[in-house]
């Protein structure tokens, strides 16, 4: 796969407490470019990632967590 030689990108999705009864999803993306081609690739796709991919991932996580909490958590 070509992208494997360009980038190393672990993604972490977790939750953080915003009050004693509420949680919010938190997304962390760590990108390490491998060479000039990887840096150019990241520059090219940056707007797409920040305005489409990440907000969609966060919205999906938030909605999924809300459904899970309603079905499995007390109160």
Domain ranges in the chain are: 2-72
Angle at the Cα of 51 from the Cα atoms of 48 and 57, rounded to 5 degrees? 95
Task: State the virtual CA torsion across 54, 57, 60, 62 in degrees, nearest 10.
Answer: -70
From residue 9, give the alpha-carbon distance in Å to each of 1, 26, 71: 14, 16, 33
pLDDT in tens, 11-21: 888 888 888 88
* Beta carbons of 8 and 35 less than 8 angstroms apart: no
Partners of 48 in beta bridges: none
Q: Going residue by residue through the chain (75 aa), what tens digit of pLDDT does each one get? A: 455 666 777 888 888 888 888 777 787 888 888 888 888 888 999 999 899 988 998 888 888 888 888 888 776
Cα distance from N-terminal residue to C-terminal residue, the chain: 47
């Amino acid at each position: 796969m070509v992208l494997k030689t360009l980038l190393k990108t672990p993604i972490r999705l977790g939750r953080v407490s915003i009050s004693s009864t509420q949680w919010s999803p938190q997304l962390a993306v760590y990108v390490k470019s491998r060479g000039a081609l990887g840096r150019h690739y990241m520059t090219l796709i940056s707007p797409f990632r920040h305005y489409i991919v990440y907000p969609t991932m966060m919205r999906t996580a938030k909605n999924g967590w809300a459904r899970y909490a309603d079905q499995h958590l007390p109160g």
